[in-house]
Homo-oligomer: A and B are copies of this chain.
Amino acid sequence: MPCGGQGRCGRCAVIVQDGAGIRRRSTLRLSADDLAAGYVLACQTVVEGDALVTIPVQEKIERRLVTDKTAAAVTLPFFYDPLQHQSVRLFPLAIEPPSVVDQTDDWSRLKRALASARLPLLSRWDASQDNWMQLKQAVDSSPEMSDLSADLPTLRRLGTTLREHNWSVTAVVEMDTWDRPTGSARLVDLLPPGQVGHLWGAAVDIGTTTVSLYLADLLTGEVVAKAAEYNGQIKRGEDVISRIIYASKNNGLAELQSLVAATINELLEQATRRANISPSEIYKMTVAGNSTMIHLLLGLPPGSIRLEPFVTAINHPAPVRAGELGIDIHPQASVDCLPGVASYVGADISAGVVGSQMCSSSALTLFLDVGTNGEMVLGDCDWLISCACSAGPAFEGAGVQDGMRATLGAIEEVWINSETCEPTYRVIPNPKLEAQGLPTPPRGICGSGLISLLSEMFITGVIDKAGNPNFDLGSPRIRQGEHGPEYVIVWGDQSEHGRDIVITKVDIDNLIRAKGAIYAGFTVLAQSVGIDLHMVERVLIGGSFGQYINIEKAIQIGLLPDLPWEKFHFLGNTALHGALLALLNREYRQQVGEAAQKMTYLELSADNTFYEAFTSALFLPHTNLAQFPSVAEVLADREAQT
């Protein structure tokens, strides 16, 4: 087994049906549920009497360990009722045509029809008695149409559309927006009378690396398609800082704006093709993203974000029209960029806080979104405090010699045998090779692989707590390389490219600095409100990075605080989920605004506190081992075994 019988890889799990004669030495790798189900680790179990043991199929174990960490499916935390929750509605209208005795202008005629027949049509609505009452109530309390507005392009189509469809049309009306909570309502479009079955919306998260999109039916609240693509801006810089610099160049801002719009349009194209609709049928969009991404989408110069005192142009922009941004949904549709808190705590975090439901519980919660930057929020339903630490892109594979993104051929988990120093690893498989029964040769190591590797090297003593390789172990894998000391994970004859896959001392230092910055962030956040990190009741981890990491190993290197595993929850793209909730429900949209509003932002560069915490975190797992009792226990275990 990979870990050489140290109770760390979990691969030797077996089920003990009658456990009277069994003594468990270590259960670190097992959750409470596992224990209740009778799981034990074979290597950590002493048989002292009779016992009935079942050895499960190996794949079942692997799948268990992996699927536990993937994102939850798209479920809404409320029962969707478009009349109550949705700001964009459909109204089927049969308008009395004009005559010489009633020469009311087209616009007033439409408003009159809207005001008198305010029952919005919902084709999928079950008009049972109860629903009907609810419907009536919603209609009675809906805003007045007397101050209905329309953009000039909508007005320009008005007369022709009304006459083309013989005064029978379906009006698409935006009832309110966050900045105009009591209206006025706005006519967005007029559709032919038949087109009443669907009303589409899109939620978008613009990541520095990846842009993701949900296409949702605003009548049912259902997500009908998802799509994700690399952000087209990548070719003008990998991180936010290089994008900000590029934006300051001649025409750079306009180019970056149209690049991200083109990426969103590509996603819209993919998602609508799958749903068999046209992007122009989408009437509402919400957008999450870090502050730089939101600035670039809106075409706002992001220069001040990069320079002290690190200020945004605007944290909470009002909705704009899709046409103003070159986004190919209906040109008069609102694009609502969600609010950010500060230059480095953007709309992705306030949306994430709502998407993760962090702020709807009184449990003390730590919310963490690790991408290129590490952004984190501490708090509960009453208060929130946030900070951002420039962790750098090491955990995304950048700045690491054999680092790579989590794609085919990436090593995503590593185990090291403490006796032989020989590694075992799992590679993200290439389906084509897999279909032929062939293994996928590794190309490099992705973020979760790096965490796993660093942890294994530390726990097995391949490196010490400062990250220095131990040449005394006499393994050929520990050697002096071109760039200093290094550890060989894969020999060239087994790698895809024929070169050795290694991790160098320089890589290790980069990774330690990255994890140190993040842990220092936690420390300073907790200190600033006088809380001990062990009081945290939940750790919610958002972002694609968080989806695949191994908690145990992340704790062992001191990236995550040492808390019981069941307190950690991987939520996937919380920013996108928050954008979806804001798209579907004006109450959640308001929550995002309130979260951004009440979130205190701690500027880490303001004094030395952060720097001191950072320095203390530049060891594995930490200068102060007392902060990591579970790691201390594992280390003690190892001592005892050798």
Q: Using CB atoms and an 8 Å cutoff, list the residues of chain A in contact with chain B.
A: 98-108, 147, 149-150, 152, 155-156, 158-160, 163, 179, 298-301, 303-304, 308-318, 320, 324, 342-343, 601, 603, 605-606
Contact = CB atoms under 8 A, between A and B. Distances in A.
A156 B158 CA distance: 31
Given A152-B320, A318-B149, A342-B103, A313 B603 contact: no
Contacts of A301: 156, 159-160
A599 to B, nearest CB: 13
A333 B155 CA distance: 20
Given A303-B159, A304-B159, A105 B314 contact: yes
A100 B308 contact: yes
Number of copies: 2
Contacts of A152: 298-299, 320, 324
B299 A103 contact: no
Nearest to A605: B100
A601 B105 CA distance: 12
A375 B104 CA distance: 19
A311 B606 contact: no
Contact of A603 (B100, B300, B311, B320): B100
A315 B304 CA distance: 45
Contacts of A99: 309
Contacts of A318: 149-150
A155 B104 contact: no
Given A147-B179, A149-B318, A313 B101 contact: no
Nearest to A607: B100
Given A149-B179, A179-B149, A606-B101, A155 B314 contact: yes
Nearest to A101: B606
B179 A104 contact: no
A98 B155 contact: no
A271 to B, nearest CB: 25
Contact of A108 (B104, B298, B315): B315
A137 B605 CA distance: 45
A325 to B, nearest CB: 8
Nearest to A106: B313
Among A103, A312, A601, A605, find the residue whose CB has the most chain B CB atoms closer than 10 A.
A103
A522 B306 CA distance: 71
Nearest to A321: B152
Interface-central residue, A155, A601, A606, by most chain B CB under 10 Å? A155
A464 to B, nearest CB: 37
Contact of A155 (B106, B179, B313): B313
A309 B97 CA distance: 10
A104 B150 CA distance: 33
A158 B308 contact: no
7 contacts: A98-B309, A100-B603, A101-B606, A105-B313, A106-B312, A152-B320, A155-B300
Given A299-B156, A300-B156, A318-B149, A103 B343 contact: yes
Contacts of A156: 298-301
B606 A100 contact: yes
Given A301-B160, A320-B152, A103 B309 contact: yes
A563 to B, nearest CB: 31
A98 B311 contact: yes
A163 B313 CA distance: 11
B310 A103 contact: yes
A259 to B, nearest CB: 17
Contacts of A343: 103
A103 B318 CA distance: 20
A304 B149 contact: no
B603 A103 contact: yes
Contacts of A98: 304, 309, 311
Given A155-B300, A159-B301, 18 more contacts: A99-B309, A100-B308, A100-B310, A100-B603, A101-B606, A103-B342, A103-B343, A105-B312, A105-B313, A106-B304, A106-B313, A107-B315, A107-B317, A108-B314, A152-B298, A158-B313, A159-B313, A160-B301
A103 B159 contact: no
A638 B330 CA distance: 75
Nearest to A99: B309
A324 B312 CA distance: 28
Nearest to A601: B103
Contacts of A150: 318
Contacts of A149: 179, 318
A83 to B, nearest CB: 26
A349 to B, nearest CB: 15
Contacts of A158: 300, 313-314
